[in-house]
Amino acid sequence: MIVVTGAAGFIGSNLIKRLNQDNFNYIIAVDKFDREDKNKNLLGLKIKEQVDRDHFFDWLDQNQEQVEFIFHIGARTDTTEFNWEIFQKLNVDYSKRIWQSCVKYQLPLVYASSAATYGLGELGYDDDESKLSSLKPLNPYGESKQVFDLWALEQVDKPFFWAGLKFFNVYGPGEYHKGRMASVVWHAFNQIKQSGGMKLFRSHNSAYKDGEQMRDFIYVKDLVEVCYWLMHHRKSSGIYNLGSGQARTFLDLAKATFKAMGMQENISFIDTPEDIRDNYQYFTEANMNKLRSIGYQKKFHTLEEGVEDYISMLL
């Protein structure tokens, strides 16, 4: 049996779909299952059992001998939430219990960290573990992921294999429930569909022209492929970046979306909201050398390829 936490969410449900493709069908799906919109992500997937997040550790104590692997993808991911207690409970304390259970029962673990730990990127985007303590996240979400990453590195007792993955800007099917936190591709598709045009944020940084702010966008199919590979690799434990390794502009993304929708480009600009302007990232790009160095060789989708594949599903 393979455990996936955050199973009804965007990345968790895509991971289960990928596992099902190779006949891993004894999936233990862990989540709250209290949102009908999210639960739609599980339709058609092969799952052995759904376990409420709050009851998971009791379940694991009783069933640990049958568990082969744990993917801890569940987390509170809202970057506009500023109640630290929520992040402490869900992203830090819960993750520590997952880790400790994996140590106790000798279970391999892959967990979701985040590129939000890099803050404004003033120290670069290098997953060298000796440098991670210097990072300065911009919000409680990023801080919670940083706190757990550093805690994990400090532990004397570790699972025999573990990997923390710093997800960059993920987009793809199954994110419709995320609201403001959904990807720019999702928002672009809906905006273009409704209005025929796309509004991008103006640049408030003289080093970047309007629309030329850059992000490392990674297609969710590539992300879960790495997770799947690590499940079989089970060596070279550590913390790894997981992006495409190639920063692209928001203009590139908008143009790719118009093209995938078969529509003429109609792009305009609006001011970046003041509540996020001071902490707005103008550039992110994952250094992917570390993951490549342990043997991961598959190519990632280009932005255009990923957007075209995603939009074809939305249409």
Tens of pLDDT, residues 99-146: 999 999 999 999 999 999 999 999 999 999 999 999 999 999 999 999
Measured between alpha carbons, how far is 117 from 224 in angstroms, rounded to an integer?
20
Q: Active-site residue among 141, 219, 240, 310?
A: 141
Average pLDDT over residues 28-49: 96
- The residue annotated as part of the active site, out of 136, 178, 199, 221, is 178
Q: What is the CA radius of gyration of the chain?
A: 19
Asked whether the predicted pLDDT for residue 307 surpasses 90, the reply is yes
> Which residues are within 8 A (CB) of 130 and not within 5 positions of it... i.e. 6 or more apart?
none
| DSSP string computed for 132-172 | GGG---SSHHHHHHHHHHHHHHH-SS--SSEEEEEE-EEE-
pTM for the model: 0.96
Q: Is 38 a catalytic residue?
A: no
**Paired strand residues for 170:** 218
Strand partners, 112: 165
Q: Residue 52: is its pLDDT beyond 90?
A: yes
Helix axes 184-195, 303-314, angle to 10 degrees: 50
136 is catalytic: no
**Residues whose CB falls within 8 Å of the CB of residue 48, separated by 6 or more in sequence, listed in order:** 1, 25, 26, 27, 28
